[in-house]
Amino acid sequence: MDAETAWKNIEDLKARIEYHNRRYYQLDDPVISDAEYDLLLRELIRLEDQFPQWRTGDSPSQRIGAAPLSKFAPAAHRTPMLSLANAFSEGEILQFQERLNRFLGNTASLSFVVEPKIDGVAVNLTYLDGFLTSGATRGDGATGEDVTRNIRTIHSIPLRILSTPESTAPEEIEIRGEIYIESESFRMLNERRLAGNEAPFANPRNAAAGSLRQLDSSITAQRPLKMFCYAVGLVKGRIFTHHHEVLGALNHWGFPVNPLIRRVDGISGCIDFYRELQDRRKDLPYEIDGMVIKVDDLALQERLGAVSRSPRWALACKFAATQATTRIEDILVNVGRTGALTPVALMAPVLVGGVTVSRATLHNQDEIDKKDIRIGDTVLVQRAGDVIPEVVVVVKEKRTGRERLFKMPAHCPECGSEVVRIEGEAAHRCIGISCPAQIRGHIIHFASRGGMDIEGLGEKLVLNLVDSGLIRDPADLYFLKRDSLLNLERMAEKSVTNLLAAIERSKSPPLDKLIYALGIRHVGEHLSKILARNYQTLDALMDASEEDLLSIPNIGSEVGSSIFQFFRNESNRRVLEKLKDAGVTPVESPSESPLSAPLTGKNFVFTGALTRMTRIEAKQIVESLGGQALSSLTKNTDYVVAGAAAGSKLKKAQESGIPVLSEEEFLAMAGRG
């Protein structure tokens, strides 16, 4: 590339990055994913390194964030708030160690503190004589926006430092941390916004930043903001020697410090934590976009100093991005085993979370209408953990006017039967009783791992078997003949033998697996276990009265009636007869634990920050096992489950002698340890 082209490219990148900085930092409404933004910035830095004559002081590569908005009063930081150097792989973490080696000599046994990188918005809190006097956003690193009134509405931020003789509050201190929103609260916030015809936030970070940067602090007060503290700026009247000591003091003074933070030895300890955190990421109640490594020894931090926008003693190690933008090329309709029609977006393939994605579920017509998703739209898609990719928001700026609206078809695309929508249900359903899509869905569910576990009987094969007319219901599987299988396309001798053997092996399933395999509405794996334990045999379950079913603590009226009706249905009974004729005999469940619910009648109160599950999940676990989750402590409380940084409820429980469980103990009690 010649210098002139490089200059043009650099100017172009600078303008684009400035635009995205403004959308992200000032408007809290980004239009590209972080991964895409990071690519632009990396490209700019690469070109500037190659053509240093074009690097200017105002380049986004040299600056932090964006200038504070004038609608807020400016708040100057006493010590600058820097950004962090990035690493995107383990290899780049090792390069960080090499850089440290160049400055410090051999760092093989150096101590680091490793911390989850919370995806929120950084703030600086100033305390004078122990009292909160100001709270500000990072802004451009030197000056932020004064959001003190909003900060005061956040419950987890102490208005006064908890000073004790062992650790007195310093005269003056700047405390830094991340304001964030938990994933579940974020989901609920976006649901409310969609219901009120407001645009949803793209992610929890933008929701947190947007909520914090309100002119009206009563709006901020309604948003479920939380904070984790991870650093101090200026400190007067107290001397620290290590970063872990700073975190200990913050904790002692009543500031929320993330419980996963730990001190490790050497870069290998950091890499171990990087891997561990990636595994645990999907189970955390809040979003993290990586890990931060910090040199523990503050004297060494001082020696290392900082380059233009980030300190040399710290590194942000990013995880694979979970969001990306792409274009919806078409919307198809998928028919499931219950006849429900699910719209699916076909998208231009895009890399999300390390996997190429080209389909996303759009759930149902309501969801499409609420999010105003159209064919041809550019959208932000998200893939978290093993979850099916979803469309988060439409990038309306990219609309050309040629986008097309989507309407659910009036007839099933698979069988042509009428499509109806039952009152109170979100789904449209095909009402055809011999709909091949429903039959396929039933059989796939029947053969799945949680059901009869028939190895090798995947979606493609089921499609083939149903379409060629060899099977019409799950029981037909047991009457398949070798010859007719051999006649199928792509079925060789060996795969036929394997399939028949797998079908044969599935003939004596545990009773609960068979119950699950039947695909009774509302009956999942857990409920199947409970039914198996209560009734011991399939015949007993088939003959159970509705009243009898309802006497089981976990079964409500809707579920009870669904089970009862299932066994009254003629064609279901015929399939069950056929299964019996084929020699499918479930093994009886052990009789020693006839009762269903290990937590029946027990009342739980959850307090503090849960890390193994969300509050909602905790409540669901308790209820699914027959107990109740209450929000406040009463004399009927049987157990208090305390997460990190539990406060007054924990104290009260201890005082009144109510047993206190850790999250792990609770999960073990619930049989999920």
The residue within the footprint of ligand NAD, chosen from 48, 115, 297, 377 (CB under 6 A), is: 115
8 Å CB contact between 388 and 360? yes
Least separation in angstroms between CB 337 and Zn ion: 11
Nearest to 665 by CA among 648, 642, 649: 642
Q: By the 8 A CB rule, do 18 and 42 touch?
A: no
Among 173, 271, 412, 419, binds Zn ion (CB under 5 A): 412
CA–CA distance, 603 with 637 (Å, rounded to integer): 5
Question: 430 is in the binding site of which of Zn ion, ligand NAD, none (Cβ under 5 to 8 A by kind)?
Answer: Zn ion
Q: Binder to ligand NAD among 23, 243, 442, 529 (CB under 6 A)?
A: 23
Tokens 């695909």 belong to residue: 519
What is d(CA 92, CA 137) in angstroms, rounded to the nearest whole number?
29
Question: Which residues 356-415 are close enough to bind ligand NAD by CB under 6 A?
Answer: none
Stretch that binds Zn ion, among 10-18, 31-39, 420-428, 430-438 (CB under 5 A): 430-438
Minimum CB separation of residue 230 from ligand NAD in Å reads 4
Neighbours of 147 (CB within 10 A): 25
Residue placing its CB nearer to ligand NAD in the complex, 137 or 190: 137
Segment interacting with ligand NAD (CB under 6 A) among 26-34, 371-379, 460-468, 574-582:
26-34
The least distance separating Zn ion from the CB of residue 438, rounded to whole angstroms, comes to: 6
Binding to ligand NAD by CB under 6 A, coded x per residue (else -) over 269-308, reads -----------------------x----------------
117 carries an active-site annotation: yes
Closest to ligand NAD by CB, 296 or 512 = 296
What residue type is 474 in one-letter code? Answer: P
What tokens were used for 598? 């290990």
Instruction: Return the residue of 135, 432, 509, 519 that touches Zn ion, per CB under 5 A.
Output: 432
Q: Whose Cβ is closer to ligand NAD: residue 118's or residue 642's?
A: 118
Rounded Cα–Cα distance for residues 136 and 575 (Å) = 67
Neighbours of 539 (CB within 10 A): 11
- Binds ligand NAD (CB under 6 A): choice among 45, 128, 188, 316: 316
**37 interface partner picked from Zn ion, ligand NAD, none, CB below 5 to 8 A per type:** ligand NAD
Residue in the structure block whose two tokens are 């938990």: 182
What is the rounded radius of gyration, in angstroms, for the C-alpha atoms of the chain?
Answer: 29
- Binding partner at 535 among Zn ion, ligand NAD, none, C-beta below 5 to 8 Å by kind: none
Please pick, from the candidates 235, 317, 435, 538, the single residue that binds Zn ion as defined by CB under 5 A: 435
Strands (E) across 353-469 are located at 355-361, 378-382, 390-394, 419-421, 428-430
The only residue of 28, 48, 145, 178 in contact with ligand NAD, by rule CB under 6 A:
178
The residue among 606, 608, 601 whose CA lies nearest residue 617 is 606
Return the number of the residue (372 or 473) whose C-beta is nearest Zn ion. Answer: 473
Rounded to whole angstroms, how far apart are CA atoms 553 and 549?
Answer: 9
In the complex, minimum distance from the CB of residue 281 to ligand NAD, in angstroms, rounded to a whole number? 14
**Residue choice 10, 13, 75, 122 for contact with ligand NAD (CB under 6 A):** 122
Tell me whether residue 418 or residue 543 sits nearer to Zn ion (CB atom): 418
What per-residue string of b and e applies to 604-626 under the rule 16 or more CB within 10 Å gives b? bbbbbbbbbbbbeebbebbbbbb
The span from the CA of 144 to the CA of 122, in Å, is 10
Q: Is 151 in the site for ligand NAD (CB under 6 A)?
A: no
- 138 lies in the site for ligand NAD, by CB under 6 A: yes
- Determine the Cα–Cα distance for residues 273 and 271; give it in Å rounded to an integer: 5
CB of 157 to ligand NAD, least distance (A): 16
Residue 454 CA to residue 504 CA, distance in Å, equals: 9
Only segment of 112-120, 270-278, 406-414, 609-617 that touches ligand NAD (CB under 6 A): 112-120
38 touches ligand NAD by CB under 6 A:
yes
118 belongs to the binding site for ligand NAD (CB under 6 A): yes
Amino acid identity, position 425 = E
Can you read off the two tokens belonging to residue 145? 């926006």
Please answer whether residues 513 and 528 qualify as being in contact, where contact means their C-beta atoms are separated by less than 8 angstroms.
Answer: yes
Give the max Cα distance, the chain.
87
Q: Applying CB under 5 A, which of residues 28, 146, 297, 414 lies at the interface with Zn ion?
A: 414
> Per rule CB under 6 A, is residue 333 in the interface with ligand NAD?
no
d(CA 391, CA 524): 27
Cα separation, 310 vs 652, in Å, equals: 44
Cα 327-329-332 angle, rounded to 5 deg: 125
Marked catalytic residue, from 8, 14, 117, 407: 117
Provide the pairing of β-strand 603-607 with 628-630: parallel
Of positions 10, 13, 28, 32, contacts ligand NAD by CB under 6 A:
32
Does position 415 interact with Zn ion (CB under 5 A)? The reply is: yes
Given Zn ion, ligand NAD, none, residue 24, with its beta carbon under 5 to 8 Å by kind, binds ligand NAD
> Beta 323-335 vs 172-181: how paired, if at all?
unpaired
Site for ligand NAD in 57-96 (CB under 6 A): 64-65, 83-84, 86
Name the 3-class secondary structure at 175. strand
Residue 388 one-letter amino acid: I
Residues contributing to the site for ligand NAD (CB under 6 A)? 20-21, 23-24, 30, 32-34, 37-38, 64-65, 83-84, 86, 115, 117-118, 122, 138, 178, 230, 292, 316
Catalytic residues: 117
Residues contributing to the site for Zn ion (CB under 5 A)? 412, 414-415, 417, 430, 432, 435
